[in-house]
Amino acid sequence: MEHEQNFQLLKTLLNEISDINRATSLLGWDQQTYMPPGGAENRGHQLSTLQQIAHSKLISDEMGRLLEELAPFAAQLDPASFEACLIRVARRDYEKATKVPLEWVAEFVMATTIAHEAWAKARQENNFAEFRPHLERLLELAHRYASFFAPYDHVYDPQMDNFEPGLKTKDVQAIFDALRPQQVKLIQQIASRPQVDNSFMFLPYDEQKQWDFGVEVITKMGFDWKRGRQDKTVHPFTTSFGLGDVRITTRVYPNYLAPALFGTLHEAGHAMYEMGSDPQLDRTPLLGGASSGIHESQSRMWENLVGRSYPFWQHFFPRLRGIFPAQLGNLTLDDFYKGINQVKPSFIRVEADEATYNLHIMLRMELEIALMEEKVSVKDLPEAWNSRFEEYLGLTPPNDAQGVLQDVHWSGGMMGYFPSYALGNLIASQLWERIMVDIPNITEQIRAGEFAPWLSWLREKVHRHGSKFEPQDLIQTVTGSKIDPAPYMRYLETKYRQIYDF
Give the separation between CA 338 and CA 268, rounded to whole angstroms.
23
Q: Applying CB under 8 A, does 244 fall inside the site for a second copy?
A: yes
Give the separation between CA 300 and CA 139, rounded to whole angstroms.
30
267 classed as catalytic: yes
Considering only 228, 276, 419, 485, the residue that binds a second copy (CB under 8 A) is 228
Interface positions, 10-49, toward a second copy (CB under 8 A): 15-16, 19-20, 22-24, 26-27, 30, 34-43, 45-46, 48-49
* Least distance from a second copy to the Cβ atom of residue 108, Å: 21
Q: Applying CB under 8 A, does 77 fall inside the site for a second copy?
A: no
* Least distance from a second copy to the Cβ atom of residue 17, Å: 9
Of 267, 354, 368, 470, the catalytic one is 267
Considering only 125, 231, 433, 493, the residue that binds a second copy (CB under 8 A) is 231
Q: Applying CB under 8 A, does 502 fall inside the site for a second copy?
A: no
452, 222 contact by CB (below 8 A): yes
Considering only 64, 166, 222, 242, the residue that binds a second copy (CB under 8 A) is 242
Q: What angle do helix axes 2-33 and 82-99 make, rounded to 10 degrees?
A: 70
Nearer to a second copy, 5 or 52 (CB): 52
Nearer to a second copy, 106 or 129 (CB): 106
Interface positions, 263-302, toward a second copy (CB under 8 A): 282-283
* Least distance from a second copy to the Cβ atom of residue 188, Å: 48
Give the separation between CA 251 and CA 243, rounded to whole angstroms.
24
Give the separation between CA 239 and CA 236, rounded to whole angstroms.
10
CB atoms within 10 A of CB 133: 13
The edge-to-edge listing of strands for the beta sheet with 246-250 is 228-232, 246-250, 238-240
Residues 6+ apart with CB under 8 A from 84: 74, 77, 78
Considering only 1, 61, 103, 226, the residue that binds a second copy (CB under 8 A) is 226
Q: How far is CA 122 from CA 128, 134, 379, in A?
A: 6, 11, 14
378, 411 contact by CB (below 8 A): no
- Looking at residue 197, the DSSP 8-state letter turns out to be P
* Least distance from a second copy to the Cβ atom of residue 43, Å: 7
* Least distance from a second copy to the Cβ atom of residue 66, Å: 18
Q: Kindly list the residues in this chain that would bind a second copy in the complex (CB under 8 A).
A: 15-16, 19-20, 22-24, 26-27, 30, 34-43, 45-46, 48-50, 53, 224-229, 231, 241-245, 282-283
Kindly list the catalytic residues: 267
